[in-house]
Structure 1
Amino acid sequence: MTISETVKVWRVFEEFHGQGKVKHLGISNIYDLQSLMQLYEQARVKPSVVQNRFYASSGYDVDIRQFCLQHGVTYQSFWTLTANPHLLRSAPIQAYAGEHKVTHQQAFFRYTMDIGITPLTGTTDELHMKQDLQVAELPSLSPDYVKAINKLLLQSH
Structure 2
Amino acid sequence: MSCSSCVPLNTGAQMPLLGLGTYKLVGAESVFQAVDAALAAGYRSFDSAAVYRNEADLGRALKELMPQYGLSREDVFITSKLGPKDQGAGAMGGALRSLSELDLGWIDLYLIHWPGTQGLDVSDQKNPDNRASSWSVLEELHVQGKLKAIGVSNYTAAHMKELMKTCKVPPALLQVEFHPRLGQSELRALCSEYGVCFQAYSSLGRGELFTDPVVLDVAKACDRTPAQVLLRWAVQQNIGVLPKSCSAERIKSNAAIFDFSLCDQDMAKLTSLDCGQHLCWDPSAVA
Q: TM-score, normalised by structure 2?
A: 0.48
Counterpart of 1:128 (choices 243, 250, 255) is 250
Alignment partner, residue 150 of structure 1: 271
Alignment partner, residue 235 of structure 2: 113
RMSD: 2.4
Counterpart of 1:15 (choices 140, 144, 148) is 140
Which of the two has higher C-alpha Rg?
2
SS in 2 for 1:45: coil
Alignment partner, residue 3 of structure 2: none
Residue range with higher mean Cα deviation, 127-136 or 102-111: 127-136
Which one has the bigger helix percentage? 1
Q: State the 4+ residue runs in structure 1 displaced beyond 4 angstroms.
A: none
Q: Is the CA contact 1:54–1:83 (under 8 Å) kept in the aligned structure 2?
A: no
Q: Which amino acid aligns with 2:196?
A: V
Deviations 1:49-80 (CA, angstroms, capped at 9, x unpaired):
111123689x5422112211333322222222
**Structure 2 gap ranges (5+):** 1-115, 117-126, 279-287
Alignment partner, residue 53 of structure 1: 177
Q: Which amino acid aligns with 1:35?
A: H
Aligned-partner Cα distance in 2 for 1:102–1:41 = 44
| Length, aligned pairs only | 153
Alignment partner, residue 131 of structure 2: 6
Q: Is the CA contact 1:55–1:84 (under 8 Å) kept in the aligned structure 2?
A: no
Q: Is the CA contact 1:33–1:64 (under 8 Å) kept in the aligned structure 2?
A: yes
Aligned-partner Cα distance in 2 for 1:18–1:156 = 38
Q: TM-score, normalised by structure 1?
A: 0.83
Percent identity, aligned pairs only, is 22
Q: CA deviation at 1:92?
A: 4.1
SS in 2 for 1:102: coil
